[in-house]
Structure 1
Amino acid sequence: MSSDAPGFELPLRLLLAFRVLIDELHDELARQGHPDLRPMHGFVMQAIGPRGTTAVELGRMLGVSKQAAGKTIDTLERLGYVERTTDSHDTRRKITRLTPYGMDALTRSARIFDDLRARWADELGEDRLHALEADLRRLTPDGLWRLDTPGWFGSL
């Protein structure tokens, strides 16, 4: 590839690399018992986290409306990944929590990402991959866990 690549190629290559990893993750998750998960669900489940959250808080974290967050919660609830419970401190608040099936999906995702990273290290060489990761850390903000990509893209 020429070093004279047009400027627009860099973000597209970064997005394509993200897409390759996410597609491979979801192919493996499907083989491991999670065939209905979609890429957006990962953002949502990470935002819900181990302590749970409300639809309003979830929407804020994802950068989407409460209604959009609620629709995704409905889907994940129907699939068995989350459950709605009443807040023990305020019975008017509904908290969405991950079910054991949801936690299993996140645990498996972490292991699969480790395997994918190892494959990239085999392909590129550990030194080159480490340098790429270090360069990306240098060029991006410190906050690793920005989950507002769904809202940034414009829809959930």
Structure 2
Amino acid sequence: MTQGFELPLLLFAGFRALIDDLHAELARRGHPDVRPAYGFAMQAIGVHGATASEVGRRLGVSKQAAGKTVDRLEGLGYAERVDDPADARRKLIRLTPRGVDSLVQAAEIFDQLRAGWAEKLGAERLAVVEASLRTVVPATGFPVDVPGWFG
């Protein structure tokens, strides 16, 4: 008989396996410094950029914590601070071409990882897993606040 505590641990272990495989492949493709928290932060910055406060809210962390993560991304060449064209008093954080490339590479890798799961489980079983998860997961979109949630 399966114990209730196993479900979240299995889901987390599956998530962890995908993320670990993603980062190993990202490193092979020229992005050895990208960490899981950085991926969530780059998603929070988004294609249109964001302020440090917005990044903090999206990640579920303080503006100061978000600022430290952005500092690391900036130091690694994945993000930059620019003047906000809508408000000269604010700085906007944008992804650099290197940051965008890491997200494009990650999307390709996730497709490959999913294909690997389909090979192991069978395409139909994987489709059932995904459909089942969509049934129980709130339809509010995909949160990127994992760093704050785990904090």
Interval containing the TM-score (normalised by the shorter chain) = over 0.9
Mapped partners of 2:16, 2:104: distance in 1: 20
Q: Which residue of 2 aligns with 1:74?
A: 71
Equivalent residue in structure 2 for 1:28, among 25, 31, 36: 25
Letter in 1 for 2:119: D
Equivalent residue in structure 2 for 1:145, among 134, 138, 142: 142
Say which SS state the counterpart of residue 52 (structure 1) adopts: coil
Q: Report how far residue 153 of structure 1 moved.
A: 0.7
Q: Which residue of 2 aligns with 1:49?
A: 46
Mapped partners of 2:149, 2:80: distance in 1: 26
- What TM-score comes out, normalization by structure 2 length? 0.98
**Alignment length (residue pairs):** 151
Say which SS state the counterpart of residue 145 (structure 1) adopts: coil
Mapped partners of 2:149, 2:136: distance in 1: 19
Equivalent residue in structure 1 for 2:12, among 10, 15, 22: 15
Mapped partners of 2:82, 2:30: distance in 1: 25
RMSD between aligned residues: 0.6
Alignment of structure 1 residues 113-132 onto 2, 5 Å: 113-132=110-129
Say which SS state the counterpart of residue 85 (structure 2) adopts: coil
Mapped partners of 1:140, 1:151: distance in 2: 19
Q: Report how far residue 88 of structure 1 moved.
A: 1.5
Q: Report how far residue 143 of structure 1 moved.
A: 2.2
Mapped partners of 1:137, 1:54: distance in 2: 31
Equivalent residue in structure 1 for 2:98, among 98, 101, 113: 101
Letter in 2 for 1:69: A
Flag as ranges the 4+ runs of structure 1 deviating above 6 A: none
Mapped partners of 1:89, 1:128: distance in 2: 48
Q: Report how far residue 63 of structure 1 moved.
A: 0.6
121-130 vs 88-97, greater mean Cα deviation: 88-97
Letter in 2 for 1:45: M
Unpaired runs of 5+ residues, structure 2, are none
Say which SS state the counterpart of residue 86 (structure 1) adopts: strand
Letter in 1 for 2:116: R
